[in-house]
Amino acid sequence: MSEAELSGLPGDPAARIRVKRVYLAAQASDGRRVLVDRLWPRGISKERADLFAWEKEIAPSDALRRWFHADLHRWEEFEVRYRQELDAMPEVVAKVAGWARDGVVTLIYAAKDEHQNHALVLQDYLCRSLQTGRGA
């Protein structure tokens, strides 16, 4: 039996790594709330954000973010490029994945688009890392 199962956590990493807009109210079920944006979200106080951590460095680079926002039809290429950036930062990925191994982590983001944003790419990347054992 895995540590997650012994602790009552869902065994599937996808159930432990969640994604949520910063503008939605914090809830106890969010677990560790980790802001994954490079910039602080507008109109949100630190108290309201109720964060466990702010991991700026795991966000897409400024250059990649600007490149994507110049043409939102570049989504598929954005995903590829962002995954390449994540490949280049194994320590940061391992830190966040480790938190998910210990409990629920909610990746907090400010983007308006709930279907095409970097937090979803990061969620998938972290889940794959945990499943393959790379997120040690």
pLDDT tens for each residue of 29-76: 999 999 999 999 999 999 999 999 999 999 999 999 999 999 989 999
Look at residue 132 in the predicted model and tell me its pLDDT.
82
pLDDT at 12: 75
Distance, in Å, from the CA atom of 7 to the CA atom of 36, rounded to the nearest integer, reads 26
Cβ–Cβ contacts within 10 Å for residue 79, how many?
17
User: What is the number of domains present in the chain?
Assistant: 1
Q: Is pTM, for the whole model, over 0.95? A: no
Average pLDDT along the chain: 90
Residue 100 domain boundaries: 3-132
**Helix (H) / strand (E) containing 75:** helix 75-87
* 120 against 15, higher pLDDT: 120
